[in-house]
Amino acid sequence: MPNSGASQIGNVDLVKQLNSAAVYGLIDQHGPISRIQVAELSQLAPASVTKITRQLLERGLIKEVEQQASTGGRRAISIISETRPFHTVAVRLGRKDATIGLFDLSSKIVAELSYPLTAKTQHSLQQQLFTIIEQFIAQQAKITRELIAISVILPGLVDPENGDVRYMPHIDIKHWPLADELQKHFSLASFVGHDIRSLALAEYYFGASSDCSDSLLVRIHRGAGAGLIINENIFVGRKGNTVEIGHIQVDPLGERCDCGHFGCLETVVSNPAIEKRVKQLLQAGHPSHLSIEHCSMNDICTAANNGDPLACEVLKHAALTLGKVIASTINLFTPQKVIIAGEITAAETILFPIIQRCIDTQTLNAFGENLPVVSSQLGNRSAIGAFALVKRAMLNGKLLQHLLDDEKKPQARSHY
Indicate the range of 237-251, 361-375, 389-403 predicted with least confidence. 237-251
Q: What is the pLDDT of residue 315?
A: 98
Indicate the pLDDT class of residue 414, thresholds 50, 70 and 90: very low
CA distance 186 to 176: 17
| pLDDT one-digit tens code per residue, 293-314 | 999 999 999 999 999 999 999 9
Average pLDDT over residues 97-105: 96
Q: Identify the sign of the CA torsion 318, 320, 321, 326.
A: positive
Percent of the chain surpassing pLDDT 70: 92
Average pLDDT over residues 175-193: 95
CA atoms within 13 A on the CB side of 144: 18
Q: What is the pLDDT of residue 67?
A: 66
Indicate the pLDDT class of residue 287, thresholds 50, 70 and 90: very high
From the list 35, 74, 81, the residue with the least C-alpha distance to 57 is 81
Phi, psi of 401, deg, nearest 5 = -65, -35
Average pLDDT over residues 157-183: 88
Q: What is the pLDDT of residue 164?
A: 87
Indicate the pLDDT class of residue 258, thresholds 50, 70 and 90: confident
CA distance 208 to 142: 33
DSSP state of 70: P
Contact 131, 144 (CB under 8 A): no
Q: What is the pLDDT of residue 199?
A: 94
| pLDDT one-digit tens code per residue, 310-340 | 999 999 999 999 999 999 999 999 999 999 9
Whether residue 150 is predicted with pLDDT greater than 80 in this model: the reply is: yes
E-only strand ranges, 146-286: 146-154, 157-158, 165-167, 189-194, 215-220, 224-230, 233-234
CA distance 339 to 317: 19
Average pLDDT over residues 154-175: 85
Average pLDDT over residues 138-145: 96
Indicate the pLDDT class of residue 147, thresholds 50, 70 and 90: very high
Q: What is the mean pLDDT of the chain?
A: 90
Domains and CATH numbers, the chain: 4-81 (1.10.10.10), 86-200+382-406 (3.30.420.40), 208-375 (3.30.420.40)
